[in-house]
Every structure is written in C-alpha cells, then in structure tokens.
A and B are shown apart, each in its own frame.
Chain A
Amino acid sequence: MADWIEELARRFRDESDWFDERDSLLGEAVRLLGFGSLVNLTETKSALWEFAATMPGTALSEKRLLGCEGKANKSEEAVQAVLDGKLLVVPEAETGVCWMLTPVARNLERPVGSPNLENVIRGPAAAFTESVETNIGIARQYLRSAMLKADIVPTGGDSPTRVAILYMAGRADPDFVRKLDENLRTNKIEDVSTLQGVISALGYPKRSLITKLNSTELPSEAACMLRKGKVILFVDRMPYALIMPTLLWDLFALESDQNFPVYIMYGIRALRVIGALLTILLPALYVALVAINPEALRIQLALSVAQSREGVPYPAFLETLTMLLILELILEGSIRLPKSVGPTITMVGGIILGQAVVSAKLVSNLLIIVLAATTIANSTIAGFQNSYAIRVLKYVTLVLSAIFGIIGIFAGFLVICGYLASQSTYGVNYLQFPGWKDEARHE
C-alpha cells in the first residue's frame, strides 16, 4: 500500500463518519474507504459483490475497469473524490493502486418538487433541485435535442463548486460561450456559492444594480431560454437555473405566458410594462405635482390634492420618502419572518399604513393610494430578483422630481434609460431587442 493512501486514511481517521473497512472481492482482500454520511455502505457492498460475481473474467484486476470511475494517482485526487461522495477501493495485494467508484449514495437530495418562488398558472409545475446532475437531467427531459450541450466546470478556490454550462449548439453565440467558459475555468479566487461570487467569477464588477444572471426555477422556462440561444448555468447547491445574457425584456416576458391565448399574453405583458413604468413614475409624479408643478393639474384635482394634504406637517418629498421606507421595511420583514407570523406583519402594516397614519394626519391619504399602487405595480414584474432593480431605480426619479418637478421625472427616466443602456453582458446590450443580433461587438 502506497504511503499516500496510508496518509489519506490517517488524515480522515478522526472524522466520526469516516469508514475504513476490509472486505474481500473475489477472494482478494481490499480496503474500502469513504464517508459513511455520503455513502450507503451496506447497499454499496452488496452491489459490489453482485457486480464482481456477475462480470466476466476471473481476477479482480480484469473486472475493475468495467465498474470503476478511474484510478487515483495522487493524494489530492483521492481526497477530492472522497469529498465528492465516491468510494475508494484499495486492493491490498497491489501497491499504489486506488480505484474510485461511484457507490450507492445516501439520499441527501430532495426530490424534484414544485417551485417555491415562482407561480405557474398554466404550465408544467416541476422545479429544479440542488444537484447539478439532476438539473441537467431535467433540462434534457424538457429539451430532447442532440444540440443541447452540457459541460460541468469546477470553479473556485478552496472548495471548488461545480458549475454546469448548458447551451444549444448552433443557437447560442459561440463567442459568448467561449468567454463564459474561459472565465469560469480560469477563476481560482472567487467562491461561487453566492451569486455575487458567480458574477465576479464571470469577470463583472459587483457594483451593478442590474442582475447579470436571471434565474428561474422552472425547467420549461429554462428550456425555452435555451431554445432562444441563451446560455444556462447550474451552480451546485442552487436550486435554479441562471440564465445569461439578461435583457430588459426578461422583466416583462415569461415563457409560460405563451400558454395563454395570444391577445391575453399581450395584455399580461403590457400590464407588466405598465407596472414597471408606474413604479418608476408614480411616487415621483406625486411629489412633482404636489410640491412643484401643481399648475399642471386640473384645478379641481389640484384642490382636492391640496385638501388631502391639509394638516400634513412636512414637505411632500419627506412624506413620500418616509412612507416608502416603511413600505420597504414591511416587504423585507415579511420575507424574513416564518410563514406562520408573516400575515400578522402584513395586517399590522396594513393598519398602520391604511388607517392610523392618515387619521393621525401624518401623511395624506392620496399618498397611501399612490404608494399602494406603486408596490402592487412593482410586484407585477417577472422574476422577483428583477423587481429589486426597479424598486431601487424609482428613488432616482423621486429625488430628481423633488428638486425639478416634472422635468426631473423625465430627466430621471432618461438617467434610468441611460443606466440600463450602459449595461451589457459580454457585448450583449441590456436593452437589445430580443431575437435581434447586435451589429458590432465592442468589449
């Protein structure tokens, strides 16, 4: 037995779930090494015996090629294999030989279930899980095409995470795939267990409001994106597909919309566009019309707005900002709370916002309507991660409108457009129309 195998056995000896058992396969003494928490040893053994007995050939060395994953030559290889849940088989007669087998694993994965974050009204209801292999399998089920390419790349520093790159050959831009692959392979620093890490690993600055990676839990959505020529990443232990490149249009269009009649689909998408616009414009419009340009309103309306603000002791901008802050707190709070307590917060929040604040004359009731509409409008956007960006961007228009009135809203809108237009993923502009090829690539 080689030294490095001995050392390996010694290294993990103190772990409570480590096993180092002697067994005999076809009369040859072997040692089985691995983690009991990852490997189901009893079933693995019986499978091994059965396998060894039924395979042609007589000696173990002849048969090993049929069932082995490979041979470990170095300590690091063996360590990584063990950590990945492999079983090491070391024949005692030969020195320095260590086979790596895929054993019967303990069932640590949750089964393929229904999505938690995304609701499907009409459409398949399976969702991705934490395992990269399972996810690739699911993707293959939804997209039975020989063009579907899947490549698993380990990336990261101390604990390499496996990232799978999926794309349709012939549809996805080969240049894009190449850059993506290169960046992931050369990354030795960033830990990709969070999306911020993934984004840095892909070579992007972390300081961006717009997510470079759209995510979906739904295989049907992912398959559609693949068919459209996008690239999908599965990161181990992340139960969703990361879609690249992202476009603004992803905020408004979902694959499952196509399960509705065409005009209904247009209607739904138009609603989402209106939702995004209202989120950005409505609070700003309130501030601008109340504080700076009331003359733009019809006189009756201006009077009733003024009446609703009667007795409110501070400027419209502060009023809006405070209430927005409370709203953001409620949104954030209801995410953190367990499901059983969540409704309480909603109710308390509703009462605070809806009744008490107005009757205490702290804010105008028109503002409550405006903010409620804003929050509802914000949540129409497809993909929860996308709604954050819009939620933040509305403050740009709000601040500018507080200074410049209606012109500030338009200026803020222009700033937002400019900001969105300045975002791109490997040469694919964020505002590019879906399905249109960009004319010239300039990185």
Chain B
Amino acid sequence: MSRSVHVLLFYFVAHLGLIFFIYPEDIIACAEEGHWVPILVGFAVHVFFLWLFVKGLSLGGNRDMVSLYLGLGKAPAVLLLLPVFVYYAMVDVITVRAYSEIVSIVFLEKTPLWAVMALLFLIPVWLANVGIRPIFYATALVAIVCLPLFLFIFAASFQSVDWRYFFPLFDRHYDFLWDSSFYKSFFAFAGVFLFLGFVQPYFTFRIRGLMWASVLLVPFFLFSVYIPVLTFGEATASNFHYPFVVTLDTLQINWLMFERVTVFFLMSLLTFVMLLVALVLWQSVELAVRFFPRMNRGWTLLVLSAIVFGCCLRIRSWHDIELLFMWNTWIRAYIMLVVPATVYWIGRRAKKEPDYESISTNS
C-alpha cells in the first residue's frame, strides 16, 4: 500500500487538474449528442496505451524510461525522446498560460497576467528544483486538504442538473472521429502518464493499483462534460468557454458563507496543476541531464524555465494557445501511442535478451 500510494495519488490529482477546464469544451465541440461515446473512446485508448507503457516498464526490469531507451544506444534514444522533451516544454507553456488566463478571467481581473503567470510558474520551478520526492510528498499533503474541498464542490455541482438532457443516448453519425477537437481533448490524457516512466528508482507502484486509479477517474471525465450539458443543455453549453467553470458560477449554496465556491474549486485544481508542472519540469531536466551528464541540474532548470516563461509572455491571446494546441496534436499522438508502444517493445526485447541488462547499465 505505502509503496504506490504517492504515485497513484499524483496520477489521480494531476488528471483532475487537467480535466475540468479545456477537456469539456473540446468534447462538447466534437459531438452534438451522446458525449459519453467520445469520452469513453478516448479513455479506452488512454488506458490501453497506459497498460502497454507500464507493462513495458515492468518487463524491462522496473527501470526508468530513459535507461530503457538508452539500451538502444544514445543516438536512437535521443531521437526517440526528443519529442517528449519538446512536448514537455509545450505542456509547461500551455498549462501555465491557459491557467493564468482562467485565474485572471475568474477572479483577478486587475492583476496583470505576467504576475499571475510568475506565481503559477515560479512555485513549480522551485518545487522542481527541490526534487521528485518532495513533489510526491507535497502532493499527498495538498491532496489531503484540497481533495475533500474539490469533492464537496464537485458533488454540489449537481445542483441544477436536468437528467433528461442525457438523451439522446447515441450519436448516429460518430463524426467526432473526424473532428480536430476530439484529438485536442487528448491533452487531458497525454500530459500526465509519462511520469510513471521516471519514478522507478524513487518510488514503485503496482500496475493493478494504477488501473484502478484510472478507473476511478472515469466518473470525473464523464461528469466534467455532462454537468454543463445536463445543466444548460447541449446547445447552450457549446457556446461557453470553460463550460464547467461557468456551471460552477451558477451554484447557490445557501448555508455557506461564500458566494462563489468556484474560486475554491479552481484553486484546489490549480494546486494540482502546479504540482504537475513542477513534475514535468523536473522530468525535462532529468531527460537533459541523463543524456548530457555534464550539464548542471540547477542551470539546466534555470535556462529551461527562462525559455518557457519567455514563451508564456510571448503568447498574446487565447487564439495563440489554440494554435499551439493544434500544432502539438502530432507530438501528442506520438506521446500517447508511439512512446508506450516502443517502451513495450523494448521491455519485451529486454526480457528476451538476458544480456540487455548489462548493456543498459553500462551506457
């Protein structure tokens, strides 16, 4: 139990942090009815490749992803992992920029955007500098406080749900498969799971526990889309930017002293996202340092952070973020499909070849 709970908890809360903002909008945009089909299809794809990924890791002798790839030789490993590095940088840029935008829309209209971004970015940079273990331990502590708050508001968000909007159950066209929004929605899956390939020497986890954690996420994926749909109806919900946040703003909890519980909901998710950004930054630095051992950890982090923050500042409007989303669709597909598949393949190979162990440890 104690061996994997931190990893599973991180997997869980990092997904929660990503689900409720951009994901509902994309899913509502890609289908007019029967939203559960694209949600579950996306989820099934995720779970399958997640399983492939962790299976490959465990076949490869529970080592981290980088040393598995390094078994192929340095050049192929760099080539194969370069997209991961680029994607991580983009994840940092997109999440920091997008979440600052949300914060500034919802409750800090007067604060300049760069100040919010600085806050949302500097804390993760500091955490990434402290190391992976503190990030996981901090996650546990944050989750103990913020998860109940989150669950309470999530439960309260069912307040004005009209279950009849659930119908029609089926989409007769299934044209979501040809919609780019559907592929954009994979952002909620792709950003997180690769960290499992980095935790090995520090933490261990059980595959079964991980599968259960991902199953636990299903209701949140479903209701992040369905709560706005059931509250407003599909036609209205599809007009909103951040439909779930808008739904939260309509909540009325009479016996609470707070008027806008949205703030607290957003904040608890934001802390999860900051932890995710911290871990992603740490992974980027780890990737760089593993391939080029002469690089100094602290400086690498500093330079990387400066670049990412510079990019965040360069992005002027929401339109640019959408553009970034479109651009990284291909990298996202690579992360979601190719990386797990290659890890599985390397893992299988490692199991068959007994001398693989020595090659990889030497490199």
A interface, CB within 8 angstroms of B: 248, 277, 292-293, 295-299, 301-302, 400, 403-411, 413-415, 417-418, 420-422, 429-433, 436-437, 439-440, 442
Contact = CB atoms under 8 A, between A and B. Distances in A.
Contacts of A420: 137-138, 141
Contacts of B131: 422
A297 B259 contact: yes
Contact of A421 (B130, B145, B270): B130
Contact of B119 (A248, A302, A408, A422): A408
Nearest to A302: B259
A410 B270 contact: yes
A414 B2 contact: no
8 contacts: A296-B258, A298-B256, A301-B257, A406-B264, A407-B267, A413-B142, A421-B138, A437-B2
Nearest to B146: A410
B3 interface: yes
Given A421-B135, A431-B140, A440-B203, A296 B263 contact: yes
Contact of A415 (B3, B120, B123, B140): B123
A436 B6 CA distance: 12
A309 B277 CA distance: 39
A417 B141 contact: yes
A265 to B, nearest CB: 19
Interface of B: 2-3, 103, 107-108, 111, 115-116, 119-120, 123, 126-127, 130-131, 133-138, 140-142, 145-146, 201-204, 256-260, 263-264, 267-268, 270-271, 274-275
B135 A297 contact: no
B107 A417 contact: no
Contacts of B204: 439
Contacts of B134: 418, 421-422, 429
Given A404-B116, A418-B130, 9 more contacts: A295-B259, A298-B257, A302-B259, A413-B145, A417-B138, A421-B130, A421-B138, A429-B137, A439-B203
Nearest to A409: B267
A440 B201 contact: yes
Given A296-B259, A414-B271, A442-B202, A421 B137 contact: yes
Contacts of A297: 257-259
A404 B108 contact: yes
B244 to A, nearest CB: 18
Nearest to A432: B137
A410 B268 contact: yes
A404 B126 CA distance: 18
Q: Which of A298, A407, A432, A436 has the most CB of B within 10 A?
A: A407
Given A406-B263, A436-B2, A296 B202 contact: no
A411 B108 CA distance: 14
Given A296-B107, A418-B126, A411 B274 contact: yes
B280 to A, nearest CB: 15
Nearest to B275: A414
Contacts of B203: 439-440
Most buried by A among B119, B127, B141: B141
Contact of A404 (B3, B111, B259): B111
A437 B3 CA distance: 8
Contacts of A301: 257
A403 B122 CA distance: 15
Contacts, number: 116
Given A417-B141, A420-B141, A429 B133 contact: yes
Contacts of B268: 410
A82 B267 CA distance: 65
B145 A406 contact: no
B34 to A, nearest CB: 36
A228 to B, nearest CB: 15
Contacts of A296: 107, 258-260, 263
A329 to B, nearest CB: 31
A410 B99 CA distance: 14
A407 B270 contact: yes
Contact of A295 (B257, B260, B275): B260
Given A418-B130, A440-B203, A293 B107 contact: yes
A117 B202 CA distance: 40
A297 B261 CA distance: 9
Contacts of A410: 146, 267-268, 270-271
A292 B263 CA distance: 13
Nearest to B258: A296
A433 B275 CA distance: 20
A437 B5 CA distance: 12
B71 to A, nearest CB: 22
B167 to A, nearest CB: 36
A411 B136 CA distance: 16
B350 to A, nearest CB: 21
B124 to A, nearest CB: 9
Contacts of A431: 137-138, 140-141
Contacts of B141: 248, 417, 420-421, 431
Nearest to B130: A422
B202 A439 contact: yes
A404 B274 CA distance: 16
B267 A433 contact: no
B108 A407 contact: yes
Contacts of A432: 137
B204 to A, nearest CB: 6
A421 B144 CA distance: 14
A414 B136 CA distance: 12
Contacts of A405: 107-108
A414 B267 CA distance: 11
A277 B145 CA distance: 9
A349 B60 CA distance: 67
With most chain B CB atoms within 10 A of its CB, the pick from A299, A403, A415 is A415
A443 B21 CA distance: 39
A440 B120 CA distance: 30
A429 B6 CA distance: 13
A407 B103 contact: yes
Contact of B107 (A248, A277, A295, A418): A295
A432 B6 CA distance: 10
Nearest to A400: B119
Contacts of A293: 107, 263
Contact of B274 (A248, A299, A400, A414): A414
A440 B119 CA distance: 32
A400 B122 CA distance: 13
Nearest to A404: B119
Contacts of B263: 293, 296, 406
Nearest to B111: A404
Contacts of A414: 123, 127, 138, 142, 271, 274-275
A400 B126 CA distance: 15
B138 A418 contact: yes
Nearest to A406: B263
Contacts of A415: 123, 126
A418 B134 CA distance: 6
A408 B119 CA distance: 8
B267 A406 contact: yes
